[in-house]
Structure 1
Amino acid sequence: MNRFTGRKVLVTGAGSGIGQATALRILAEGGSVVAADIAEAGLDKTRALAAEHGTAAAGLDLTTVDISDEDSVREHIGAAIERLGGLDVLVNAAGILDSRHTETMTLDFWNRIIGVNLTGTFLVTRQALPALLATGEGVVVNFSSTSASFAHPYMAAYAATKGGIQSFTHAIAAEYSKRGLRAVCVAPGSIDSGMTRAPGLPEDADYGLLAKLSPALGEGFAGPETVAGAIAMLASSDGAFITGTELRIDGGTHM
């Protein structure tokens, strides 16, 4: 498939996990991609994987950015869009996951999760909107989570950000619908990534509360490419009539 031929795409969190898999998928489908991440080493890995997989690495640009910092977003995301010569699709995959007992959660901990996941999504989207709106058919794909709608213990801060991102997505989908913008969410769950391998659970976590977080399909968690494929559909013309909603991708964990 070449659904992204001639299309310009920015993917945050593209140095690892689902963001990385998404950047590689869109490259493989002919897109020009800016892969953005705070970790330069992760971006180098993304470039190496693009070359290893035989995808069009010439269509890949890299930029380091701290999405929680307004000046960093303005400088690096702004410059990346200029280098692309516009923007058709924004994928806000960057995020962090950490866990605490809520009664011992500090304000600094709370603000760090909010700052990256929710504020970061806003800052990058705001920076990208003029270019996306200029196309008359721009697409924003945001990252919610199954934790936004289903109970995930010890993850109150993370869940709050993902619920906020879901609502933010609905709001901009309505606000800009008459200008051709589509905004959608993916809500992954039971995906094997760096986040799920090291969620920072408390030492005394009750794993009985977490036992339900296993997929009905297959024999365990799915890989990041599972979500990347869904994002490629949503962001392409195949998803042209989908906006203001979320797609849960969890193998039936929360049926």
Structure 2
Amino acid sequence: MKRFEGRRVLITGAGSGIGQATVHRILAEGGIVVAVDVSEAGLAATHQRAEADGTADQLSTVVVDISDEASVRAGVGGAITGLGGLDVLVNAAGILRSAHTEQTTLEFWNRMLAVNLTGTFLVTREALPALLATGRGVVVNFSSTSASFAHPYMAAYAATKGGIQSFTHAIAAEYAKQGLRAVSVAPGSIASGMTADPGLPADADMSWFVKLQPALGQGFAGPETVAGVIAMLASDDGAFVTGTEIRIDGGTHA
């Protein structure tokens, strides 16, 4: 399939995990991609994989700290200018940390907000003029099953993901008449760098997490599973999908 032939796509969190998998899925479908991440080493790995796949000529990379307004304006704004516009934005960047809520410091809380929620806002705001100019722009944001279901020790993370979900609904309604679609994916039970070590407290009650097993019985899925759903939503195959969330968890929360 070449659903993204000639389409310009910017993907944050592109140096690892689901963001990286999405880069390679979109490249394979013909997209012109700017990969954005705070990690230069991560972006180098993404580019190396593209070289191996023969898609490196469609890829450029930019180091950006999405929690920093100046960095977003310079990096994301410059990337969009270089592309000559933008058709799709995928806000995959985020961090996951855990703590007992009564032990959560303001610094911890603010850092989660700054990267996950404020970062999504800053990148989206920078991209909106170019997306709206196309008349059919798409924003795919990252919520999480933790926004709607109980995941202990992750109150700060869940709050940011719930905020992203609400933010997505709001911009979907605000810009629908200008042709913009905005959707969220809510991954769960996905094996990626972020979930490999969520930093649970040493005394965490692990019986809670025994419940987090996919109903499909095949164990946790890989990042490519989510990338495939994103590709559908961001392409014309998802043309009538906006202002909603797509849960990707193998029935963990069925």
> Which bin holds the TM-score, normalised by the shorter protein?
over 0.9
State the 4+ residue runs in structure 1 displaced beyond 4 angstroms. none
Give the drift of 1:220.
Answer: 1.2
Give the drift of 1:218.
Answer: 3.7
Report Cα offsets for 1:204-238 as digits up to 9, x if no partner.
10001111111111431100000000000000000
Equivalent-residue separation in structure 2 for 1:6 and 1:49 (angstroms): 21
Which residue in 2 is equivalent to 1:104?
103
Equivalent-residue separation in structure 2 for 1:137 and 1:74 (angstroms): 23
Which residue in 1 is equivalent to 2:124?
125
Following superposition of structure 1 onto structure 2, how do residues 131-170 of structure 1 map, counting pairs within 5 Å? Answer: 131-170=130-169
Report Cα offsets for 1:38-92 as digits up to 9, x if no partner.
00000000011112233x2101000000000000000000000011110000000
Equivalent-residue separation in structure 1 for 2:70 and 2:200 (angstroms): 32
Which residue in 1 is equivalent to 2:4?
4
Following superposition of structure 1 onto structure 2, how do residues 12-51 of structure 1 map, counting pairs within 5 Å? Answer: 12-51=12-51
Following superposition of structure 1 onto structure 2, how do residues 189-200 of structure 1 map, counting pairs within 5 Å? Answer: 189-200=188-199
User: What letter corresponds to residue 27 of structure 1 in structure 2?
Assistant: L
Q: 3-state DSSP class of the match of 1:47?
A: helix
Give the drift of 1:95.
Answer: 0.1
The number of aligned residues is: 254
Assess, with a 3 A threshold, how the Cα gap between structure 1 residues 35 and 213 changes in structure 2: closer, same or farther: same
Give the drift of 1:107.
Answer: 0.3
Equivalent-residue separation in structure 2 for 1:14 and 1:76 (angstroms): 14
Which residue in 2 is equivalent to 1:69?
68
- Percent identity, aligned pairs only? 76
Equivalent-residue separation in structure 1 for 2:42 and 2:231 (angstroms): 21
Which residue in 1 is equivalent to 2:57?
58
Equivalent-residue separation in structure 1 for 2:83 and 2:247 (angstroms): 31
Equivalent-residue separation in structure 1 for 2:178 and 2:58 (angstroms): 28
Which residue in 2 is equivalent to 1:93?
92
Equivalent-residue separation in structure 1 for 2:209 and 2:222 (angstroms): 20
Give the drift of 1:22.
Answer: 0.3
Extract unaligned runs of 5+ from structure 2: none
Pairwise CA RMSD of aligned residues?
A: 0.6
Whether 2:79 is the aligned partner of 1:84: answer no
Assess, with a 3 A threshold, how the Cα gap between structure 1 residues 52 and 219 changes in structure 2: closer, same or farther: same
* TM-score normalized with structure 1 length: 0.99
Which piece of structure 1 moves more, 213-222 or 33-42? Answer: 213-222
User: What letter corresponds to residue 211 of structure 1 in structure 2?
Assistant: V
Which residue in 1 is equivalent to 2:235?
236
* TM-score normalized with structure 2 length: 0.99
Q: 3-state DSSP class of the match of 2:186?
A: strand
Equivalent-residue separation in structure 2 for 1:37 and 1:28 (angstroms): 20
Equivalent-residue separation in structure 2 for 1:233 and 1:224 (angstroms): 15
Which residue in 2 is equivalent to 1:211?
210
